[in-house]
Amino acid sequence: QVTSWLKKIYGNQPIPQYEVNARTVDILYELVECNEARDRDVSLLIEDMKQRTTEYEAEADYLQRLLTESLGLSLSSLSSEGTSHLNVLVNSAMTLETKDTSLASFFCAINDTTSELYTTESKNREMELELTNIRKKLTAALMLEKKLEEDLKKTEELLEVEKAKADSRSQNLKFLKDKSEDLKIRIKAAEEQLAATGLDQSLTHESLVSLSE
């Protein structure tokens, strides 16, 4: 749903890259719900306006018949000033969405419009506050993501250093082992050579070590 909404918003333009995780998806989902709610309200308002336009046209036809049949008047028989006043009356009725052009209907419509205005302003303030909170959450999420990326980079660098140290220690240990084996071989060879010359076995390295223990 979030992806479809982003494609709808950006159209043919590429969707900006963002980190897909539970937090960012929740924030985007809240934005989707807000926009869909607003779109539904706009659609309902448009449908209501269409319906009222039809009703006003019917009302205009009724008034025209009333003027013609009851008073013997028609729009063509009115003066320019009378026509102007009639247009103002009709436009006011359409703007205020009254059911007719009576004074009582105008007063009721003005009161209803004022109430709707206050309600709409209140909803707009709530939505602005909600959008502000969502922006703050998104900013915090992006900052957290950046901090985690920095920490991850530092950890990787530290691991590289430790790995290099471990490799160095491993190489040193191997060198010492090889050196020790080499010395053992040399000592053994020297002892064998000395033994061949008639050296007392009690004076060999192993005998001396055993004796010292």
Domain boundaries, the chain: 1-79
| C-beta of residue 41 within 8 angstroms of C-beta of residue 49 | no
| C-beta of residue 127 within 8 angstroms of C-beta of residue 34 | yes
Q: Look at residue 16 in the predicted model and tell me its pLDDT.
A: 62
pLDDT in tens, the chain (213 residues): 666 666 666 666 666 666 666 777 677 777 777 777 777 888 888 888 888 788 777 777 776 776 666 555 555 666 677 667 667 777 777 777 776 666 777 788 788 888 888 888 888 888 888 888 888 888 888 888 888 888 889 988 888 888 888 888 888 888 888 888 888 888 888 777 777 776 555 555 555 556 555
**How many Å is the maximal CA-CA distance in the chain?**
155
Q: What span, in angstroms and rounded, lies between the C-alpha atoms of 198 and 192?
A: 10
On whether the pTM is more than 0.85, the answer is no
